[in-house]
Structure 1
Amino acid sequence: MPLKVGLLINAMIGPDIGTGPGQEGYEVAKGLLKRNALGKVFCFSVTDDCDLPADKVVPFCRTWMKSRALGLLNRVHRRYPAVRGRRRIEQWMDAAFARMLTREAGDVLYCPKPLYPRTIRRARELGMMVVVETSVLHPRFNLEVVSAERERLGIRGAAGYTDEQRVRNIEAALEGCDRIFAWNAFVRDSYVKYGVPESKFLGGGEFAPPGIDTDRFSPGASQQDAIFTVLHVSSISVIKGVQYLLDAWESLADEIEGRLLIVGPADRDMRRLLAKRKIKNSEWVGRARDPVAYYRQASVFVSPSISDAGPRTVLESMACGVPAVVSDHCGVSRSITQGDNGFVYHYNDVAKLASLLKWSCQNREQLRSMGQRAREMVQGYSVTNYSGEIEQRIAAVAAAVKGP
């Protein structure tokens, strides 16, 4: 009889969410169910069309009203970081899941994010092995790099990534788990630097990047005569490094013809910065329901993060046939072949970033060829393939639990 695997997903799960932990969690659950290896799935909520057996799913939000209220709290947190809404929601979920967890949940508990120390501790008390996945760099590394950047920019007040209590919660989860999967060695090394034993990591710290929908994210009509467009897409905060992109673009404003598009919601600090920086031929679009149209307009995508395990937007843009210029503080930079499907530069080297953008503008034909190779490179990074790899990792852990 196969060992049962429980899943702890910090998201809404369902078949048609698109990408992210909700889609991946659903795919993993379906694969485990097919092999009769699924225990329980603990999650934020479920979509109406989720076809997992009802007795297998334990949602935190069972009503539309509760989900709506927590969504509102999260938005308030983005505007007023001192509210610490994200941490509060995580703590409420942690307390609830710890109460609901029983041995029926599985022999192994798999957590895509190390956010729930009480639940992890309870799982260990029940005799379950706990495996977590690190989809971000070590939270203390993030706290320190963001704090330094905010000081450089003269920004005061509370902010995301500088919540000391949340950092301690994640550190407790990391201490309590048995094994850790890291997206790559760059991510793993950030954890080892802050005291997580290297022996806890499985697979040498090198796995395929997270999955994307390569049918949805695909090239559009030819943009041979389109204006040169530099694109950045993210949930914009200091950690995304947009401030460096603005500096680079401003230095080129009178040298090249083109435009800079910044797409995505911004937190309080970055809204103020974006409103203050009036740079020629640049536009902050704000939140976009579907970024595919912007990817298809882009000549080159830039991810200037100062600390980022991903980001997934780099792979989405590449799937749309757009080469990427990525800072070396992005974990996904390990998927970039320099000069072939994109470029990598040191995260705070504004002059180098500017020179890469200038080269891109002056070499449009080569840029299009790079975009084709970028598309080819990400073809294997599907949600199904990534979920399948997660299943293989879990199976290896389960085999270790079962023993010879």
Structure 2
Amino acid sequence: MLCHSKIAKNMKRMVIFEGVSLMVDDALDVVGYFDYGSGTGAAPTHLIDGILDKDRLGHVLCRGVVETPEHASKISTAFPGGRRVPQLMGSVLNVIPYSKPRLYLERIFDWIVSRRLVNDYFSGDFHYHHTPGHLRSIRKANDLGKTTVLAGAVELTQRSIKRYEEECKRHGLSCHVPTELRRAATRRFQTLVESDQILAMSSFAAESYVDGGIDRDSIDIVPLGVDTERFDYKPLLNDDKFRVTFVGSVNVLKGIPYLLDAWKLSGLGEDDKAELRLCGHVADEIEPLLEDGPTNVSTPGFVDPVPEYRQASVFAFPSLSEGFAKAPLEAMSTGRPIIVTENAGTPDIMNDGEEGIVVSPRNAEELANALNSLRENSTERKRMGQAARNTAERYTWERYTNEVTDKIIE
């Protein structure tokens, strides 16, 4: 529900969600720093397709296009040549120590979007990328009399930075927060302040905004969806191997130090029939924790997550800071019981003890107990896995699209 005074601006309602803007009784124009058709761009891609099915899609402006859709005439890229230009620029910037290339590229993207707004490029009205921070575009949209709605995809960045620094200190790890990230945190917060409505992806993200001073009445919560056909149900393997899988960035804020501690506390680190797979890019600060760790912990790097989920006995995601983590819902869709923290976003759509187990963040002992509980009870794993699939089937991308539009126009 729109709560701010700007709801009356020209009696128009523009939405910026996952890069989507909507004017009631007009076309929906979509903008976001994502690649249409990519895995990381799944949320805006499905949202665009859903809006198209409602015959409301105007034009799309994004970073790049991975798979050209039938409605390709409606999709444009902000950079000449699509995603190749920002990828090349990112490679150049990456050689600078502690640089965050994406943050600089998003500022350029933001400027391009604001210019398109000025030039009336779109058939409807628009703006946004699913991570807050495109301040120039938000302000230009507001100046033009549009009602802006912003997706809250992550925890308040100032809080996650503080959390990161505290965790590194706690575990004796080196860390460095680039100046540009601190600047981005300020911009992201300001976009939350200056938007008319916020669609947070989880209660955890929403509470971080309220704690930061954002009006609670301006926030609605819309969890993400999952492709239940791609992440289809497969029964748990009947072999005697106990495989615990994590998919995501292997870093401090994902709670990896606690998962490694729990692996040792549970005794699973010495179990030759147990395996812990940490799938994803391993951050530099985590490397020291892996060097002398158990031999049954592997880091395969970037992988196709579907086979990993299917091989898993349990999916573990002990994150300390999220908006709404996609991986646990994907694992649920394949029929895997999950272990998540209260901060993962997933507890919004599950019940502790039904689809899996919810543990406190930063608590290796609780995590170890959850691992052992599921290690020792294959019947319970199967029951939770089936329940997880049943829940995932209710959280489709179609539901997500409908709920987004319902929250906007109710």
1:229 to 243, 262, 270: 243
8 A contact 2:78–2:112 mirrored in 1: yes
How many residues align structurally? Answer: 382
Matched residue, 1:49:
68
Matched residue, 2:76:
58
Residues 324-364 of structure 1 deviation map (CA, whole Å, 9 limit, x = unaligned): 01111211122231222100111111111111111111111
Matched residue, 2:381:
367
Residues 2-56 of structure 1 deviation map (CA, whole Å, 9 limit, x = unaligned): 1333322220113xx3x55x333233334444555334322111235233353x4
1:341 to 349, 352, 355: 355
Shift of 1:85: 1.2
1:278 aligns with 2:293: yes
8 A contact 1:11–1:45 mirrored in 2: yes
1:383 aligns with 2:400: no
Residues 144-177 of structure 1 deviation map (CA, whole Å, 9 limit, x = unaligned): 1111101112233424799211101101211221
2:36 to 13, 30, 52: 13
1:167 aligns with 2:178: no
Which amino acid in structure 1 is aligned with residue 30 of structure 2? L
Distance across 2 between alignment mates of 1:160 and 1:234: 22
Distance across 2 between alignment mates of 1:130 and 1:353: 41
Shift of the 353–162 alpha-carbon distance from structure 1 to 2, 3 Å rule, reads farther
Matched residue, 1:119:
137
- Pick the structure with more helix per residue: 1
8 A contact 1:8–1:112 mirrored in 2: no
Q: Give the root-mean-square deviation of aligned CA atoms.
A: 2.4
1:27 aligns with 2:41: no
Shift of the 218–329 alpha-carbon distance from structure 1 to 2, 3 Å rule, reads same
Distance across 1 between alignment mates of 2:336 and 2:179: 30
8 A contact 2:272–2:296 mirrored in 1: no
Shift of 1:195: 1.1
Distance across 2 between alignment mates of 1:25 and 1:263: 24
Shift of the 369–33 alpha-carbon distance from structure 1 to 2, 3 Å rule, reads closer
8 A contact 2:200–2:323 mirrored in 1: no
Matched residue, 1:402:
none
Q: Which moved more, 1:322-331 or 1:44-53?
A: 44-53
Distance across 1 between alignment mates of 2:270 and 2:236: 27
8 A contact 2:242–2:275 mirrored in 1: yes
8 A contact 1:13–1:50 mirrored in 2: no
1:190 aligns with 2:238: no
- SS of the equivalent of 1:113 reads coil
8 A contact 2:237–2:311 mirrored in 1: yes
Give the % identical residues.
27
1:96 aligns with 2:112: yes
8 A contact 1:13–1:46 mirrored in 2: yes
Shift of the 109–325 alpha-carbon distance from structure 1 to 2, 3 Å rule, reads same
8 A contact 2:243–2:313 mirrored in 1: yes
1:85 to 90, 98, 101: 101
1:260 to 267, 276, 290: 276
Distance across 2 between alignment mates of 1:242 and 1:133: 27
Matched residue, 1:304:
318
Distance across 1 between alignment mates of 2:334 and 2:133: 32
- SS of the equivalent of 1:169 reads helix
TM-score normalised by the chain length of structure 2 = 0.86
- SS of the equivalent of 2:393 reads helix
8 A contact 2:309–2:331 mirrored in 1: yes
Distance across 1 between alignment mates of 2:310 and 2:67: 31
Distance across 2 between alignment mates of 1:257 and 1:160: 42
Distance across 2 between alignment mates of 1:280 and 1:34: 50
Shift of 1:121: 0.7
Shift of the 318–34 alpha-carbon distance from structure 1 to 2, 3 Å rule, reads closer
Q: Which moved more, 1:215-224 or 1:235-244?
A: 215-224
Query: How do residues 241-260 of structure 1 correspond to structure 2 at under 5 angstroms?
Result: 241-251=255-265, 252=267, 253-254=269-270, 257-260=273-276
Shift of the 133–249 alpha-carbon distance from structure 1 to 2, 3 Å rule, reads same
Which amino acid in structure 2 is aligned with residue 270 of structure 1? I
Distance across 2 between alignment mates of 1:29 and 1:309: 20
2:157 to 136, 139, 143: 139
Shift of 1:257: 4.0
8 A contact 2:322–2:344 mirrored in 1: yes
1:2 to 6, 25, 28: 25
Shift of the 248–27 alpha-carbon distance from structure 1 to 2, 3 Å rule, reads closer
Residues 172-214 of structure 1 deviation map (CA, whole Å, 9 limit, x = unaligned): 2112211111123222111010111223214xx3x3x211111
Residues 64-120 of structure 1 deviation map (CA, whole Å, 9 limit, x = unaligned): 64143145358x38xx76112121111111111111224453345454331200011
8 A contact 2:155–2:205 mirrored in 1: yes
Distance across 1 between alignment mates of 2:390 and 2:344: 21
1:320 aligns with 2:338: no
Shift of the 37–213 alpha-carbon distance from structure 1 to 2, 3 Å rule, reads closer
Shift of the 361–310 alpha-carbon distance from structure 1 to 2, 3 Å rule, reads same
8 A contact 1:113–1:135 mirrored in 2: yes
Shift of 1:285: 1.5
